[in-house]
Amino acid sequence: MKVAMIANSNHNVNSGVSGTRIAIAESLRQLGVQVDTYFMDDFKVFDGGIMDKIIFPWKLASRLSKWKEYDLLDIASGDSWVLSYFRKRPVIVSSSHGLEHLAHREILEEHRLGNLPLSKKYFIYWGGYRIWEVSKSFKRADFSIVLNSEDKHFVQDQIGKDSYKISAIFNGIPSYFLNLPVNDMETANNEVIQIAQVGSYIHRKGISYSAQALNTILAKYAHVEVAFMGTGCEDEKVLADFDPEVRDRVTTIPTYKHSELPHLLRGYHIKLFPTLSEGFGKTLIECMACGLAPITTDTAGPADIVTDGVDALVIPKRNIDQMVVAIEKLIHDPSLLKQLRFNAYRTAQKFTWDNAAKNRLACYEQAIREMKRGYAQES
């Protein structure tokens, strides 16, 4: 089988979408699949911004002669709709890295609450045309892959995709996160408790809510420290959200090499994941694999990964008071903290790229069979 994996993001092994697709491609190659990857860098006319994103589906369609050498095209999100109208083309699988419709719903709610100003450009493109493109691509693709059960139900019920043509498949985490030697999980009441929040410091990740909760915790508990890793912004932007009296216990790391994250997380106890919208929750599982106890919101993605009270504490999104309560519970109960850390570590071990690739390959094979069956019926 020969597959092209395509996404309208720049090639970057450390980024979300492209890093994920690079990892999937490599794991598929280990299973004997011939895979080539294509990113925005291979198609852009301008600077890779919105104009290039708008013309991306058309650029893909213009290279139909090239795509005919492949058995299947795995195209990220909403960029397969133009190509899908061509009859003589490879099988198309439309893949989500977090369904835009659900993210849009949370953005609108934040806007309604007065927490997030939105420009006209957002409503025209991201909240308008792009949503339409994703719906059209998922509807017309031969098969669709999403990351969680809520996304699957949405594509089935709201977009109208046949249930047998859509599958929810978890991503994986790199091998350097698996089977780590995390033996020391004992926590004494008087030692420093270290909390990590890993990921971009953007509104969708719930930063405005976690900053308020952590300000309360840091003011109340002098032995608590917090680190923000992979913020993708200046230190000042993060520190500005914290009271001057507690800033000396807030550490920021704007960027890091992905393979260094297990080392950076050494000595940390709690993973705070206050996200408002999530397709999978890669950093959630990565931190679990490093032996951190998660406190996460009840969003799609995390809801499929963890169980409240077993390997995580799950709280309602946007609930600052419940976030404070959850953190305090782990501060005051070392045995619960230890239990969650061990269970989270064990849960994370099943999220391998090998498992993800095998499940994805099964979807590819099903999609190809369905297309061949359709051609046979027509002839």
Taking only the tens of pLDDT, the chain with its 379 residues reads 999 999 999 998 877 788 899 999 999 999 999 999 999 999 999 998 999 999 999 999 999 999 999 999 999 989 999 999 998 899 999 999 999 999 999 999 999 999 999 999 999 999 999 999 999 999 999 999 999 999 999 999 999 999 999 999 999 999 999 999 876 666 555 589 999 999 999 999 999 999 999 999 999 999 999 999 999 999 999 999 999 999 999 999 999 988 999 999 999 999 999 999 999 999 999 999 999 999 999 999 999 999 999 999 999 999 999 999 999 999 999 999 999 999 999 999 999 999 999 999 999 999 999 887 765 555 5
Q: Is the whole model's pTM more than 0.95, yes or no? A: no
What ranges do the domains of the chain cover?
Answer: 2-172+353-378, 175-348
2-172+353-378 and 175-348 share one fold: yes
Report long-range pairs for 329-338 (Cβ below 8 Å, ≥24 apart): 330/193, 330/269, 330/270, 330/293, 330/295, 331/193, 331/217, 331/221, 331/224, 332/189, 334/186, 334/187, 334/188, 334/189, 337/187, 337/269, 337/270, 337/293, 338/185, 338/186, 338/187
Superfamily name with CATH number, domain 2-172+353-378: Glycogen Phosphorylase B; (3.40.50.2000)
CATH architecture, range 175-348: 3-Layer(aba) Sandwich (3.40)
E-assigned strands of 147-282? Answer: 166-168, 193-198, 224-229, 250-253, 270-273
pLDDT in tens, 142-194: 999 999 999 999 999 999 999 999 999 999 999 999 999 876 666 555 589 99
Partners of residue 314 on adjacent β-strands: 296
* Tokens read off for 105: 């719903």
